[in-house]
Amino acid sequence: MVVYGNDLKNSHFNNVAKLIAEVFPTKCSDAYYIEPYTEGVKQKVSKGKLPYRYRNLKTSMKERGVMTSKSSSNQVSSNDITIKNLLSEQQLLESQVWLKSYTEPWTEVLERWTKTAPNRIAQFTKRKDLSIINILTEWPLFKHPVGYSLISIDFTVLFPEKGLNLLNSWPSCRDKLIDIIRERSNKDKHSIAHQILNTLPSVISEDGKDIIAMYLLPILLPPAIIREKDKGSWKPTIAEAQETFVLYVKDSVSKQIFLEQRKKKYEKLMRPIQPCVIIVGETLQTAKDFYVRFENVEYKLSSVLGAVDTCFKVIHVMNLVYPPEAYNTWMFIQRYFYKIYLQKEKVPTCVTSLISEL
């Protein structure tokens, strides 16, 4: 139980673990509490059933609003989203016609796009019948090679002050994520994570570490059974979660083959293809080409972080849904990095557990 105003300390967990072992001699106290320790230059937090349960409970209570947190003032609820500075219908029409007709000067494009952003976001959030094709028809500049800059403008209207959250927060937790992935993969020597982490060169770049962590992230957030009306239920594999979140291929030919196969697969399933990130490179950790793909639109970004950031923003700006295979991964990114909490969304246990572990 959480006692308001008094956080439980490691000493509390230690005492309770010892009491459990005394009352139940067959129980090992280490299963309930392992004290923090230092590994190299890294400080490891306490482990065991007691601290894990306590952290999960605190996270759950904070998310439900039962318990406040230091960052509660930065949380966003869908009820708090208010679109301001809307243009009149005539002003909107004039700018929209211009934006459909011209792609330069780019400074004027950005100016008009920024002015029309509140109307565009209001339209996307209110009209549930809009498809990506409808959106691209009405606002074709999304298809521009640097359309991701327009996506960022719209995202800022939707979630003010959240646009840089991933890029700012990522460095402090990337290595922790890799450590957790490594620890779990050691239990399964045949896992893709174990194979990748144990075949890496001794020295890799910071960008390479970013790629590895993002690519393997779905392993920490495995997909659950998906139940679809009139289509039964199915359980995606980790590989399916990865390829709908961050896909890795060695070259452009492999990339094109995958895209064609995916299109046929989803047409057969009668399901929409959601935006995803694609990494292209001879090896995963040295890849230099990063793309965000949705419909027939493709943005090329300079880093995997930029690609994931853009993909997340595309999904929210266009009011799309996360691909079910990678739902848990995107939900973790939404809540942990962007600090965005929306009404009526399902938050899996694996998401709250990983957040508490970090």
Q: Dig out the tokens for 155 from the structure.
A: 């995202």
Encode pLDDT of 158-217 as tens digits: 999 999 999 999 999 999 999 999 999 988 888 899 999 999 998 999 999 999 999 999
Q: Where are the domains of the chain?
A: 10-60, 89-158, 164-357
**DSSP letter (8 states) at residue 333:** I
> Alpha-carbon distance 120 to 115, whole Å?
10
Residue in 213, 274, 215, 217 with CA at minimum distance from that of residue 249: 215
Please, what's the largest Cα pairwise distance for the chain? 78
Q: Tokens representing 94?
A: 């004039």
State the Cα–Cα distance between residues 121 and 320, nearest whole angstrom.
Answer: 12
Structure tokens that stand for 251 in this block: 């070259």
In angstroms, the CA 150 to CA 136 distance is 13
Question: Model-level pTM?
Answer: 0.78
User: Does the CA dihedral 342-83-314-217 come out positive or negative?
Assistant: negative
Tally: H helices and E strands in the chain? 14, 8
What's the whole-number average pLDDT of the chain?
Answer: 86
* pLDDT at residue 2 tops 50: no
Of the candidate ranges 110-114, 130-134, 305-309, the one whose mean pLDDT is the lowest: 130-134
Q: What digits encode the pLDDT tens for the residues 202-244?
A: 899 999 999 999 999 999 999 988 887 777 788 889 999 999 9
Q: pLDDT grade, residue 257 (50/70/90)?
A: very high
Q: How far is CA 312 from CA 167, 269, 293, 327, in A?
A: 12, 24, 12, 12
34-58 burial by CB neighbour count: b if 16+ within 10 A, else e? bbeeeeeeeeeebbbebbbebbbeb
